[in-house]
């Protein structure tokens, strides 16, 4: 155990929580964060200013995680909102194209597919089985490729892609690289300097709530000027007839951040960062190896790569009855995640070897007994 379960709400009853890739439990420290927000909200103008001060503190902590300056982070509603902000800043022309993998998350795929109405060609790259190949993504790009979207760690399979190799392969092209770090930030290292833009949700491995982050690599892509703006995005000319965006990532924040979510995110970062991402990654890698090996030995069709460098916290196996499996596991006090023809097991800093052993014991007792032709079936 890296972090005590007693620090989290809802784990006191002995349940096994292997569902962080969906959403983890909140921290008990979030109760104090809520009280701090509530006190500031009752404190008039001074309290309102403290909301923004907390946002600045969060951005400073995010800078330590991404390697980008604090001011290059925007606190927004979701990772999807961040993708939309980036796409709104591109001056699209008929004949342009965008690239995304067919097994990547819908936040990016849907956003890029929507561009067809502007005469933009979405190039949806087929995975090789369940696996996304960086070389295939690069091969789909040409001189008219304006955007490539990719998840650092995929929601579907837990595959961890080599963002450094992808970034290097795009170095001589004017292609905007959007990296979705929703399943990476807080559990494995994320280098925001490798992408033009990094987006992330906050309610997964950051252990916070449903909000989002947009990190703008201003040094690499200085010409970011989103169309979707509001009062918080810039400043007025004296006559109110001209608008100038802020010089930092605040230009992507249309209005107030969701201040309560920001207080909760600060509490999460203050909890996670003393452990260190490297230590969390090592802990998760060890649990993931045990989980991957044990599920494979039980005849399940693992769709997550085995090497630790190619995975993070998610370990998944294919199964047609995924929803039923997840429901029965929950009835037994074990939280997993279903969808898209697979069961996903996720580990984080509060998980233990005993959690994995209890999952295996449940499977061995009849949860999922054996595999036939590579697919687990039930007896």
CATH number at residue 20: 3.90.1150.10
Query: Which of 256, 272, 288 marks a domain boundary?
Result: 272
Question: Of all residues in the chain, what percent carry a pLDDT higher than 70?
Answer: 97
Residue 373 has pLDDT above 80, yes or no: no
Same domain, 293 and 365: yes
Same domain, 9 and 54: no
pTM: 0.96
- Mean pLDDT value of segment 122-132: 98
Same domain, 218 and 307: no
pLDDT the model gives residue 1: 78
Same domain, 147 and 239: yes
CA distance 289 to 284: 8
Same domain, 313 and 360: yes
Same domain, 281 and 155: no
Same domain, 80 and 177: yes
Residue 379 has pLDDT above 90, yes or no: no
Same domain, 16 and 69: no
pLDDT the model gives residue 51: 98
Query: Which of 272, 299, 314 marks a domain boundary?
Result: 272
Query: Which of 257, 272, 287 marks a domain boundary?
Result: 272
Q: Provide the residue range defining the domain that includes 286.
A: 5-26+276-377
CATH number at residue 53: 3.40.640.10
Same domain, 267 and 308: no
* Beta-sheet pairing, 375-377 with 370-372: antiparallel
Q: Looking at the DSSP assignment, which residues form a beta bridge with residue 335?
A: 17
Same domain, 256 and 305: no
Residue 378 has pLDDT above 70, yes or no: no
89 phi/psi in degrees, rounded to 5: -90, -5
* Beta-sheet pairing, 197-201 with 212-216: antiparallel
In tens, the pLDDT along 255-282 reads 999 999 999 999 999 999 999 999 999 9
Same domain, 206 and 126: yes
Give the count of domains, the chain: 2
pLDDT the model gives residue 257: 96
- Mean pLDDT value of segment 334-349: 98
N-terminal to C-terminal alpha carbon distance within the chain? 34
Specify the DSSP class assigned to residue 133: P
In tens, the pLDDT along 42-101 reads 999 999 999 999 999 999 999 999 999 999 999 999 999 999 999 999 999 999 999 999
Same domain, 320 and 171: no
In tens, the pLDDT along 146-195 reads 999 999 999 999 999 999 999 999 998 999 999 999 999 999 999 999 99
């Amino acid at each position: 155990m890296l972090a005590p379960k007693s620090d989290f709400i809802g784990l006191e009853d002995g349940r096994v929580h292997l569902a962080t890739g969906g959403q983890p439990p909140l921290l008990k420290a979030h109760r104090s964060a809520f009280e701090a927000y509530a006190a500031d909200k009752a404190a008039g103008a001074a309290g309102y200013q403290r909301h923004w001060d907390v946002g600045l503190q969060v951005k400073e902590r995010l800078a330590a995680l991404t390697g980008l300056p604090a001011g290059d982070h925007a606190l927004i509603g979701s990772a999807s909102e961040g993708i939309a902000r980036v796409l709104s800043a591109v001056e699209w022309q008929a004949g342009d194209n965008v690239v995304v993998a067919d097994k990547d998350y819908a936040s990016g795929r849907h956003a890029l597919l929507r561009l067809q109405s502007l005469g933009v060609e979405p190039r949806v790259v087929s995975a090789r089985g369940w696996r996304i190949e960086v070389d295939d993504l690069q091969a789909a790009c040409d001189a008219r490729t304006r955007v490539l979207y990719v998840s650092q760690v995929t929601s579907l399979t837990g595959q961890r892609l080599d963002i450094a190799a992808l970034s290097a392969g795009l170095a001589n092209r004017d292609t905007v690289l959007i990296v979705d770090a929703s399943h990476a930030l807080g559990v494995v290292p994320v280098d925001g300097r490798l992408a033009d833009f990094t987006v992330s949700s906050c309610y997964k491995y950051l252990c916070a709530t449903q909000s989002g982050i947009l990190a703008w690599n201003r040094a690499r892509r200085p010409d970011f000027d989103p169309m979707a703006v509001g009062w918080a995005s810039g400043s007025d000319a004296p006559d109110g007839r001209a608008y100038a965006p802020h010089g930092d990532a605040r230009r992507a924040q249309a209005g107030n951040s969701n201040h309560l979510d920001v207080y909760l995110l600060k509490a999460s970062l203050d909890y996670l960062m003393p452990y260190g991402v490297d230590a969390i990654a090592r802990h998760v890698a060890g649990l993931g190896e045990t989980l991957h090996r044990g599920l494979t030995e039980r005849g399940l069709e693992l769709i997550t790569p085995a090497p630790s460098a190619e995975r993070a916290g998610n370990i998944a196996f294919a199964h047609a009855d995924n929803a039923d499996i997840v429901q029965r596991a929950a009835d037994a006090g074990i939280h997993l995640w279903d969808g898209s023809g697979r069961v996903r097991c996720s580990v984080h800093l509060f998980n233990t070897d005993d959690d994995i052993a209890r999952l295996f014991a449940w499977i061995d007792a009849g949860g999922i007994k054996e595999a036939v032709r590579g697919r687990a079936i039930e007896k």
